[in-house]
């Protein structure tokens, strides 16, 4: 099979991924073999490629927003069979027996393994996944539009939940890439007023199209205080900027697996029982709930597609903020 392989992290401007011919993978016990139809390109892939998240296996096939057709099932697989279209998320496996897993917090499992990081991912023509961790993809979404739902969409959904935003509340979104352009639609469906803070004119235009009540930069003051906010850009300086726009008792959820240092800030920014919390990975419950909601609304997914061998170019454009919506590789 063809795959884009990371031998070691380098700046995306240097093309860290190489197109290779690899042996077709085989499904083991409890696994399914997928023919990859599409794979989303995520900021996490960028962090891995550039070494901000040090790759834990080398060489590595990145990619964790996979839509594929089951080609073959390994031993002891139930409920998933050849011919089915399924999705693979960042959470590739969790132990199921630790305290976190038993509490419904499998996203915090210390033994969890992540797709495109611990496990070979979807920047390839074929991929293997644990059958218990694949998800049903709504039939209403073609594969290129379904792929971003599997991380950008789910983690955005979890971020909204952890922010504590209520129906009809005033929500701030800082950064407006793949995840935020999906999260705004969930929030608008719930009657929230959404205030978007982003620099790019293309991103601002898309935010307005998707129902933002106000659009500006992080340095601008919105017309109302925010009840809750989510930061999507991996920039630590946004944390105090966002806190400064929250009402007392509001929560800021940080949607980032890696970010630059958070600068020293005045205590007054969190006084008044304002809260800051990180968003860590996702659970299968998050995936099921979000995908059901995405089909019901239905969510609009804006994508730009790239051929598999164009993965380096997609990552470069993602880093430069030149993708409106989400980038997706088509093998």
Mean pLDDT of 14-34: 98
On whether the pTM is more than 0.85, the answer is: yes
Q: 146 pLDDT exceeds 90?
A: yes
2-150+299-330, CATH topology level: Quinone Oxidoreductase; Chain A, domain 1 (3.90.180)
Query: In this structure, which long-range contacts are made by residues 259-268, counting pairs with CB atoms below 8 Å and at least 24 apart in sequence?
Result: 259/234, 259/235, 260/234, 260/235, 260/236, 261/236, 262/236, 262/237, 263/236, 263/237, 263/239, 265/239, 265/240, 266/240
Alpha-carbon distance of 324 to 75, in angstroms, equals 42
Treating both helix axes as pointing N-terminal to C-terminal, what angle do 178-189 and 152-163 enclose, rounded to 10 degrees? 50
Mean pLDDT of 294-298: 97
Domain 153-278, CATH class in plain words: alpha beta
- Reported as a single tens digit per residue, the pLDDT across 96-105 is 999 999 999 9
Taking phi over 0 as left and psi of -120 to 50 as alpha, with beta for the rest, 174 belongs to beta
Q: 56 pLDDT exceeds 90?
A: no
- Reported as a single tens digit per residue, the pLDDT across 200-238 is 999 999 999 999 999 999 999 999 999 999 999 999 999
Bridge partners (DSSP) of residue 4 are 19
Percent of the chain with pLDDT over 70: 100
pLDDT at residue 11, as a whole number = 97
Percent of the chain with pLDDT over 90: 98
pLDDT at residue 313, as a whole number = 98
pLDDT at residue 83, as a whole number = 97
pLDDT mean across residues, the chain: 97
Bridge partners (DSSP) of residue 103 are none
pLDDT at residue 54, as a whole number = 84
pLDDT at residue 224, as a whole number = 96
pLDDT at residue 55, as a whole number = 80
Q: Cis link prior to 274 (omega < 30° from 0)?
A: no
Please calculate the CA angle 298-214-231 and round it to the nearest 5 degrees: 75
Mean pLDDT of 314-327: 95
Alpha-carbon distance of 92 to 106, in angstroms, equals 11
pLDDT at residue 226, as a whole number = 98
- Reported as a single tens digit per residue, the pLDDT across 61-93 is 999 999 999 999 999 999 999 999 999 999 999
Mean pLDDT of 165-171: 98
pLDDT at residue 70, as a whole number = 98
Domain boundaries defined on the chain: 2-150+299-330, 153-278
Contact indicator for 329, 127 with CB cutoff of 8 Å: no
């Amino acid at each position: 099979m063809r795959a884009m392989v990371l031998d070691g992290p380098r700046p995306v401007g240097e093309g860290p991924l190489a197109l290779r011919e690899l042996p077709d993978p085989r499904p083991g016990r409890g696994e399914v073999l997928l023919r990859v139809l599409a794979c989303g390109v995520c900021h996490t892939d960028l962090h891995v490629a550039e070494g901000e998240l040090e790759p834990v296996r080398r060489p590595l096939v990145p990619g964790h927003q996979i839509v594929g057709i089951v080609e073959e099932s390994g031993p002891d697989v139930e409920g998933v069979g050849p011919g089915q279209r399924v999705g693979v998320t960042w959470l590739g496996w969790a132990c199921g027996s630790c305290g976190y897993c038993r509490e419904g917090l499998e996203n915090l499992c210390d033994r969890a393994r992540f797709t495109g990081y611990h496990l070979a991912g979807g920047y390839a023509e074929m991929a293997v996944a644990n059958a218990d961790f694949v998800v049903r993809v709504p039939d209403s979404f073609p594969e290129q539009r379904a792929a971003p739902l599997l991380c950008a969409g789910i983690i955005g959904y979890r971020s909204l939940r952890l922010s504590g935003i209520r129906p009809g509340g005033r929500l701030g979104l800082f950064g407006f890439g793949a995840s935020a352009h999906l999260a705004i639609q969930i929030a608008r469906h719930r009657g929230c007023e959404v205030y978007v803070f982003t620099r790019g004119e293309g991103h601002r235009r898309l935010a307005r199209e998707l129902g933002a009540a106000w659009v500006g930069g992080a340095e601008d003051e919105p017309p109302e205080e925010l009840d809750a906010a989510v930061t999507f850009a991996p920039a630590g300086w946004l944390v105090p900027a966002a806190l400064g726009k929250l009402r007392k008792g509001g929560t800021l959820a940080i949607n980032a697996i890696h970010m630059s240092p958070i600068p020293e800030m005045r205590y007054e920014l969190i006084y008044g029982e304002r809260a800051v919390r990180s968003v860590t990975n996702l659970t299968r419950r998050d995936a099921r709930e979000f995908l059901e909601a995405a089909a019901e609304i239905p969510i609009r997914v804006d994508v730009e597609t790239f051929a598999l061998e164009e993965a380096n170019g997609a990552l470069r454009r993602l880093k430069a903020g030149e993708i409106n919506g989400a980038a997706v590789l088509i093998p």
